[in-house]
């Protein structure tokens, strides 16, 4: 089965370099018309230039694809709305949104500047919120949409010096979880990509050339294309890097019930092993399901019949 996007329109943010560029090129090769969005700033978010996006557009047009460059700042909702309008005016619809734009301001939390922290949150989290909000109504009307949030192992598992980046990236998982519930009946699928690749964002972190040679952006893009395909999964966190792929999931143990006389901090600590028992753990869909589980445990222990 060959995945094609003929007749579809994709917006890829942060597409002037690295992963975003790789994503935009591959979507175009597979028939998508692509809005190549890039503010053109440095990796810390400073500066702006449309030249990087224009170079990617030229490359796409060079192999017969269709693309336009856009320099919208994803933190400014008005600019994002204008970008979406440009896509609709040009091609009539938007089918795919890849939220890839991001910056780094790495420092240990003790040394981190709060303005830097807020800026990282603004670009990664609110930038993705802005772009998603701008296409959400359109995708609902179309009864079709594919959206990818770019999360990170720094958010899922932590990484020294990246409290700001990690917080923003984990927030995107929470955004996906709720938008999945709200978008499913409208044909909108939303997933998270957790990539690791050789880009300017990782050039100071990994220096071994043999390792870097394995970490091609194109290997990550294979995962991205799968997440925006018509047959894509939904509410899926896909880790991708160096040609390896894995699924990350947030699961919850079955837990234990403590009767009223034992509902103390001391008893909670004393039962941590039982609380942590993984034998019946599972992934919950929707926060209310945790409440239902807890209430059912209490009702069963107290022999209370629930309606």
Question: Phi then psi for 177, rounded to 5 degrees?
Answer: -60, -40
Tell whether 219 and 276 lie within a shared domain: no
How confident is the model at residue 269, as a pLDDT?
Answer: 98
Confirm whether 4 is domain-assigned: no
Whether 60 is in a domain gets the answer yes
**Residue 3 covered by a domain:** no
Shortest CA distance to 189 belongs to which of 153, 125, 139?
Answer: 139
**Are 135 and 231 found together in one domain?**
yes
Question: What is the domain extent for residue 263?
Answer: 251-302
* 211 and 263 both lie in a single domain: no
**CATH at 120:** 3.40.50.720
Same domain for 298 and 163?
no
The confidence score (pLDDT) of residue 1 equals 77
pLDDT of 214 reads 82
Does residue 85 form part of some domain?
Answer: yes
Number of domains in the chain: 2
> How many beta carbons lie within 10 A of that of residue 95, not counting itself?
23
262 and 190 in a single domain? The answer is no
pLDDT in tens, 114-170: 999 999 999 999 999 999 999 999 999 999 999 999 999 999 999 999 999 999 999
60-71 tens-digit pLDDT: 999 999 999 999
Tell me: do 140 and 212 sit in the same domain: yes
**What are the catalytic residues?**
165
Please check whether residues 18 and 140 belong to one and the same domain: yes
131 within domain boundaries: yes
Distance CA 28, CA 20 (A): 12
Residues 191, 270: one domain?
no
Q: What is the pLDDT of residue 50?
A: 79
Verify that 261 and 184 share a domain, yes or no: no
105 with 155, same domain: the answer is yes
According to the model, what pLDDT value does residue 40 have?
82
Query: For residues 52 and 6, what is the distance between their CA atoms, to the nearest angstrom?
Result: 25
pTM of the model: 0.94
For residues 187 and 121, state if they share a domain: yes
Give a yes or no: residue 229 inside a domain. yes
In a domain, 168, yes or no: yes
**Which residues, given as ranges, of the chain have pLDDT below 50?**
none
Tell me whether residue 307 is in a domain.
Answer: no
């Amino acid at each position: 089965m060959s995945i094609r996007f003929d007749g579809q329109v994709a917006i890829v943010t942060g597409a002037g370099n690295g992963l975003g560029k790789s994503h935009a090129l591959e979507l175009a090769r597979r028939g998508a018309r692509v809005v190549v969005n890039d503010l053109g700033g440095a990796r810390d978010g400073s500066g702006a230039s449309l030249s990087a996006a224009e170079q990617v557009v030229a490359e796409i047009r060079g192999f017969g694809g269709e693309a336009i460059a856009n320099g919208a700042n994803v933190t400014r909702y008005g600019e994002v709305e204008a970008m979406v309008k440009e896509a609709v005016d040009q091609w009539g619809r938007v089918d795919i949104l890849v939220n890839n734009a991001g910056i780094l301001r790495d420092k240990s939390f003790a040394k981190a500047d709060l303005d830097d922290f807020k800026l990282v949150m603004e670009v990664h989290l609110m930038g993705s919120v802005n772009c998603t909000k701008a296409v959400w109504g359109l995708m609902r009307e179309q009864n079709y949409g594919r959206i990818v949030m770019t999360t990170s192992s720094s958010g899922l598992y932590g990484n020294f010096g990246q409290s700001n980046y990690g917080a923003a990236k984990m927030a995107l998982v929470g955004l996906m979880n709720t938008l999945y519930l709200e978008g499913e009946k409208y044909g909108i699928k939303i997933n998270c990509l957790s990539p690791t690749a050789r880009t300017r964002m990782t050039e100071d972190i990994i220096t071994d050339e043999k390792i870097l040679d394995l970490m091609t952006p194109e290997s990550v893009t294979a995962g991205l294309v799968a997440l925006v395909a018509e047959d894509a999964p939904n509410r899926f966190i896909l880790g991708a890097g160096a040609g390896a792929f894995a699924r990350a999931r947030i699961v919850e143990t079955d837990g234990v019930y403590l009767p009223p006389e034992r509902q103390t901090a001391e008893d909670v600590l004393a039962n941590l092993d039982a609380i942590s028992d993984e034998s019946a753990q599972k992934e919950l869909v929707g926060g209310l399901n945790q409440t239902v589980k807890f209430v059912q445990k209490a009702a069963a222990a107290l022999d209370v019949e629930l309606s």
